[in-house]
Chains A and B, each alone.
Chain A
Amino acid sequence: MRVEIDRRPIWVILAGKALRPVFFLLLALGFILFLQLPVPEGLGTGGMRAIAVFLLCLVLWVSNAVPVAITGLFAIVLVPLLGVLPRGATYSLFGNEAVFFILGAFILSGAVMQSGLSNRVALRLMEKHGGSPKRLIISIFLLAAALSFVMSEHAVAAMLFPIVLEISKSLKLRPGESNYGKLLFFALAWGSVIGGVGTFLGGARVPLAMGILKETTGSTIGFLDYTVAVAPLVVVLLIVGYIVLTRFFPVDIDGVENAHKVIVRRARALGKVRPREYAVGLILGITILLWITIGKTVGLAAIAMLSVMALFVLKLVKWREIEEYVNWGIILMYGGAIILGTALDRSGAAKWMVDAIMTQWAQTPITVIALFSLLAILLTESMSNAAVIAVLLPVSIGMAGRTNMSPEVLTYVVAIPAGLAFMLPMSTPANAIAVSSDYISVRDMAKGGVIMFLTSWVTFNLMAHFYWPLIGLR
């Protein structure tokens, strides 16, 4: 047996081992000390405790000291334990419609991936439209966006990554040096991000926002209403994104014949379309149609669950297969986030934060939209976008009364920008995987990302002021 001797100075070894316990000890001390502070005027004890839980979750979400789902558990446990909300009321929030909608959407997305349908659609479209270097980039960019309209953007990035990697190998692109290599992976990452904000299905953050909106105000937003409200932003970002990429990284190859061969080989290997793929595609199509047409009447979650039931009744998926595609931690994360949002609202903490802090910075609708969208875009670069919703949305909805804005508009103001992470690999898994490929450096991502950040913020604000009133959003 070999004994390895650690030759570092003893204080370095001890400091390394103590870092995590010390962090949690300081966090616990800070939390307890905060609870001992005198309660400010206008805020009750419950509100003070809700803010303490809010700050604790904020630190954990930003530091990533524990998985984001486990941070949700902190809210779930501390809110009733501190008496912010009664135990029964807290746990009943898990039965929120948004949680079941998210679950249904993820199971549906898992079935689409498991059946091979999404892979086939991706390869067929690339085969048909990716005949030249520029067309291949456009295909991947639009494909990633379009698939993210109906599936989680993270699932889309994970699914397309091996294909894009194989394409770059077939073209013999040098990692870190080839502009075309950068374009391929940027198209994948940014396409998924932009498409992810297009509908309720791109990620779970929009349903989460709807869940918090419903718990705090009782109102809701329809599937189609959301897509109509966000559509101009998606179109502008797709156009600007493509221009930014091709200006920053001009195409430096002449042809993509080898890549095309890879795509054709992969597509042929899938064989003929199987009845199972048709059936899953049909169920997905019908589900989306029902969400659009009767979603408001019967509820999005009920339709999602009906579709899940249909998948199993028709034996299109097995439970074991679905378990491989769905991460159940999502229930803890979203349940916890809804509990936190509701606790801030019902305890009066959100209103107090609005009165004491936010009104100094934002008093008119223009400044409210500018401030909250900026905060959401900035925060989403350093923390999970669902966590951004959990942190900002209760406060933004609290601005409704002060500014005469509808809570629905204030929900959009956080929910949409929270998905727009372009600058850093840590901001979203699609960016992280693009950088892990080594074709894109962190500097490349930040360089193009700054322009996308500014474009998305300015476009969002213009859209909110000029387009939204036209569709009745004020």
Chain B
Amino acid sequence: MTNTKILLVLSTHVYSDKAIEYAVRRAREEERQLVAFFLLESELAEEASERFSDIGFTGDRPSATLSESLMREYRQRGYEALGRAQIKAMEDGVDFEPLLKEGPYVSTILEVIRAHGIGLTVIQRRKERSFLHYFKKGLSVKVKEAASCEVVIIE
């Protein structure tokens, strides 16, 4: 048994019941605290509103409203995802801490790992959104390479 915490990473575009089940099972079996972290990927909302501004030539107001509306939606989804993880953790008698933060994928996850003294990170493989994924590493692999703890990638 170890005292370090398990970090379950959920994010705007990556959500998996498999990852939740795996993280909760490990936390129960190893009697570790589970930190469920929902990452709000703000750059996706910004990307969409920039597209409206750059190509659609919409003004600042409609672009900002659009971005706010997307972020509100992502935040809501975050609370719902954390709620589902919490229910599963409570059913299994696992100590649970929810966390919701906004930021870029890799650096924000690494920051949470450091700040919370995480010993194991459970992460779902994040698909790249363009054909570039054939040529470059996925973001989840980047997290695994840079993290100071064990990282399990759920396929």
A130 to B25: give the CA distance in the assembly, Å.
46
**Chain B interface main SS type:** helix
- Given contacts A154-B52, A158-B62, A162-B65, whether A333 and B77 have CB atoms under 8 Å apart is no
A158 & B58 in contact (Cβ 8 Å cutoff): yes
Whether A437 lies near B55 (C-beta < 8 A) is: no
Q: Are A158 and B56 in contact (CB under 8 A)?
A: yes
Q: Which of B56, B61, B114 contacts A152 (CB 8 A)?
A: B56
Min Cβ gap A88→B in Å is 27
List of A residues within 8 angstroms of B114 by Cβ:
2
Q: How far is the CB of B65 from chain A (nearest CB, A)?
A: 7
Q: Are A433 and B129 in contact (CB under 8 A)?
A: no
Q: Which of A154, A325, A333 has the most CB of B within 10 A?
A: A154
Q: How many A-B residue pairs have CB under 8 A?
A: 99
* Residue of B with least CB distance to A442: B129
- B3 within 8 A of partner (CB): no
A256 contacts the other chain (Cβ, under 8 Å)? no
- In Å, the complex CA distance between A113 and B65 comes to 12
Q: Which of A8, A110, A161 contacts B66 (CB 8 A)?
A: A161
Report the separation of the CA atoms of residues A157 and B44 in the bound assembly, to the nearest whole angstrom.
17
User: Is A337 part of the binding interface, using a Cβ–Cβ cutoff of 8 Å?
Assistant: no
A442 to B114, CA, bound (A): 35
Can you list, as one digit per residue, whether each of A324-336 has a CB less than 8 Å from chain B (1) or not (0)?
1111011001000
CA A157 – CA B49 in complex, angstroms? 11
* B97: Cβ under 8 A from any A Cβ: no
Given known contacts A169-B73, A436-B44, A67 and B54 CB-to-CB distance under 8 angstroms? yes
Query: In the complex, A64 Cα to B70 Cα: how many Å?
Result: 23
Cβ–Cβ < 8 Å partners of B73 in chain A: 165, 169, 437
A136-157 interface code vs B (CB 8 A; 1 in, 0 out): 0000000000000000111101
Chain B residue contacts of A262, Cβ below 8 A: none
- Contact in complex: B70, A158 (CB < 8 Å): no
**Counting CB contacts under 8 A, is A204 at the interface?**
yes
**Do B48 and A436 touch (CB < 8 A)?**
yes
* Number of chain A residues close to chain B: CB under 8 A: 42
Task: Flag if A113 contacts B70 (CB, 8 Å).
Answer: no
Instruction: Answer yes or no: A69 CB below 8 A from chain B CBs.
Output: yes
CB pair B70–A325 under 8 Å, yes or no, is no
With A324-B61, A432-B48, A437-B73 known to touch, is A155 a contact of B56 (CB < 8 Å)?
Answer: yes
Q: In the complex, which residues of chain B have a beta carbon less than 8 angstroms from the beta carbon of A433?
A: 48, 51-52, 66, 70
Flag if B54 contacts A152 (CB, 8 Å).
Answer: no
Does chain B have a CB within 8 A of A429? yes
In the complex, what's the smallest C-beta–C-beta distance from A275 to chain B, in angstroms?
22
- Determine how close the nearest CB of chain B comes to the CB of A9; give it in whole angstroms: 10
- Chain B residue nearest in CB terms to A192: B56
A68-B62 contact given A7-B145, A169-B73, CB 8 Å threshold: no
Scan residues 56-91 of chain B and give those whose CB is less than 8 A from a CB of chain A.
56-63, 65-66, 69-70, 73, 76-77
B66 A158 Cβ-Cβ under 8 A: yes
Instruction: Indicate which residue in B57, B69, B70, B110 contacts A106 across the interface (CB closer than 8 Å).
Output: B57
Could you tell me the distance in whole angstroms from the C-beta of A14 to the nearest C-beta in chain B?
15
Asked if A281 CB lies within 8 Å of chain B CBs, one says no
A-side contacts of B13, CB under 8 Å:
438
Contact of A155 among B44, B58, B129 (CB under 8 A): B58
Residue from A64, A113, A154, A159 in contact with B57 in the complex, judged by beta carbons closer than 8 Å: A154
Distance between Cα atoms of A68 and B56 in the complex (Å) = 10
B56:A175 contact, CB within 8 angstroms: no
Q: Would you call A252 an interface residue if the criterion is a C-beta within 8 Å of the partner chain's C-beta atoms?
A: no
Asked whether, in the complex, the Cβ of A327 is within 8 Å of the Cβ of B58, the reply is yes
A429 engages B56 (CB within 8 Å): yes
| CA gap between A265 and B146 in the complex, in Å | 49
Those of A25-73 within 8 Å (CB) of chain B: 64, 67-69
Interface positions of A (Cβ within 8 A of B): 2, 4, 7-8, 64, 67-69, 106, 110, 113-114, 152-155, 157-159, 161-162, 165, 169, 175, 204, 323-327, 329-330, 333, 384, 428-429, 432-433, 436-438, 442
8 contacts between A and B (CB under 8 A): A158-B58, A162-B65, A324-B61, A326-B59, A333-B57, A432-B47, A432-B48, A436-B44
